[in-house]
Chains A and B, each alone.
Chain A
Amino acid sequence: MTALLGLPPIGRQAPSEDVAEALRELTAIEFQIGETATDIDVTVAPAQLTQLVEALQARPKLAFDFLRNIVGIDFTPEGMALKYQFYSFRWGHGLQVTVPTSVGHPRVPSIVRFYPAADWHEREAAEMFGFVFDGHPNPKNLLLEEDLHIHPLLKAHPLQPAEILQGIEEGPPGFKI
């Protein structure tokens, strides 16, 4: 079965320079390469995310076939960001893609059609932060109640007892869900 994926199965970790070099061939996309404690980090604008993801999946030198995780972060007042973690079973390397969004416009294209695994991750990020994923097939709340439109992981979201959040009791003056 491992032969189907092309290469010896495990333990092959390409040096991170290989990934950086392969990324530099993508001249049509504007991005910056950085680094985290574990992966290479690529920052790209939301408008070019689809293009980048398509290239990440299709280019044989990159071949990122596995979406590990999608993380949303609230950088208020500088807007928000999404972090996508990818992994390539073929080459054994990982990559993080950062997509910063501007204040008040948390719109990002959905990548479900490239990675089916992104479905639930995107729904979670959408309900927790208020991101809008364009083209998501089933944009409903996942972990929260279906008609509860609050975004608890925003830094502005106050720490309050559940009764106040659910509207059973009255919150402090000026508090709005």
Chain B
Amino acid sequence: MTPFLASGAIFGIWNWTDAIIRILIIVLVMTVVVVYLTYGERKVIARFQQRLGPTRTGPAGLLQGLADALKLVAKEDLRPATADRWVFEFAPYATFIPVLMVLVVLPFAEDWGVRNLALGMFFVFAVLGLNIVGMLMAGLGSGNKFALLGGIRAAAQMISYEIPLVLSLLSVAMIARTLDLNAIAAGQSFTPESGQHAPYVVLQPLAFLIFFTAMLSELHRAPFDIPVAESEIVGGYFVEYSGIRWSMFQLTEYASMWAWSVFGSVVFLGGWAVPDTHTWAGPDWAWQLGITLIKSLAWIIAIMWIRVTVPRLRIDQLMSFCWKVLLPLALAQLLANGFILEYDGPDILLTLTSALGAVALLALIIFRAVKRPKSKLVGTYRQVQVSTP
């Protein structure tokens, strides 16, 4: 066996050829996923809003995504006269490439990924931080004040939320004692005799809440869509883009939504490992791929549900929520985990402390709402004071 042959390579060829083939496959899959995510989002949101969504292109509108993609590719690629040419033209790629790089390490089934890095989790948040560069490039290079505001907002928001995000992931990594995503998933398979844990959403509910909130913020989804707020700054940093470059931003948005969903379900919901498919009939990898798909779809639908329901926060509310609430709670979680793991406490203790923190977070918000003078508001429009003429 020569060193050029990868031991786990499915194609049994040289390592680098194998990597290229896998990357090509993942890019193709991602494109299809993005096209159908846009279709799916339109359909799901339409049902939430008592509409039908796309119905005309193909059966049940199934070809709508392809038609949109075709239209975008055929559109003229405009560049404002005041734009900084190279910054403007490279910005879409600078936002897109980090997302593509994240897809390289995600395990879709046991050992099914492009590469299985020993520092997979570290790689994810190191690479995703690069996203900001592209958005700032778009914001500054467009020569548009709305884009500038959007770019600056995006940078401020993403840098702030990166911290609670990383801390919440660290508290999982502490329990898993590894940064390898495959090992993290496998560590949640819930078999006590092998010393495996329950899924980390059970062990670390607070970290899960913090991760989910910070992820929404990183993705610029409602209620944290401040950098791209349509009703305020008309799309934010990509306001000046059109055609293929605009669709790169769209691609980034949906691809990163998918990547984050898979990543989140691997870290917190057990990924392919829960439930354990090794005793089931049929090929393992098929079951595992299906499980990952279902989990990430549930995750995506939760994101869409939140999008249609809640309004947008203001930038100062967003910032103070991050720095005053999420960050201290994430740090407290880290500290509690450290103590428990140092003295070899049982898993139940981890669950309890983290659940306490989660309850504290929710109680804080509810208490805040109830303390307000106008707390019971719904339905009050009916009870008005009788006026005496």
Contacts of B388 in A (CB 8 A): 8
Count residues of B near A (Cβ-Cβ below 8 Å). 3
The smallest C-beta distance from A10 to any residue of chain B, in angstroms, reads 6
Counting CB contacts under 8 A, is A11 at the interface? yes
Q: Report the separation of the CA atoms of residues A8 and B387 in the bound assembly, to the nearest whole angstrom.
A: 11
B195 within 8 A of A: no
List residues 342-389 of chain B with CB under 8 A from any CB of chain A: 387-389
Q: Which residues from chain A contact B387 at a C-beta distance below 8 Å?
A: 9-10
Nearest-neighbour CB distance to chain A for B388, whole angstroms, equals: 8
For A31-69 the 0/1 string (1 means CB < 8 A from B) is 000000000000000000000000000000000000000
Set of chain B residues within 8 Å of A11, measured between Cβ atoms: 389
In whole angstroms, what is the CA distance A10 to B389 when docked? 6
Question: Which residue of chain A is the closest to B389 with respect to CB atoms?
Answer: A11
Q: Convert A1-42 into 0s and 1s, putting 1 for each residue whose CB lies closer than 8 angstroms to a CB of B.
A: 000000011110000000000000000000000000000000
A10 and B388 CA atoms in complex are apart in Å by 8
Query: Which residues does chain A contribute within 8 Å of B389, judged by CB atoms?
Result: 10-11
Chain B residues, CB < 8 A from A10: 387, 389
Of chain B, the residue at the smallest CB distance from A11 is B389
Chain B stretch 235-266: residues in CB contact (< 8 A) with chain A: none
A132, B387: Cα distance in complex, Å:
44
Question: How far apart are B315's CB and chain A's nearest CB, in angstroms?
Answer: 31
B224 to chain A, nearest CB (A): 37
In the assembled complex, how far is the CB of residue B5 from the closest CB belonging to chain A, in whole angstroms? 77
Task: Give the complex CA separation of A10 and B387 in angstroms.
Answer: 9
Q: What are 5 A-B interface contacts by the 8 Å CB criterion?
A: A8-B388, A9-B387, A10-B387, A10-B389, A11-B389
List the 5 closest A-B pairs by CB distance, nearest first: A11-B389, A10-B389, A10-B387, A9-B387, A8-B388
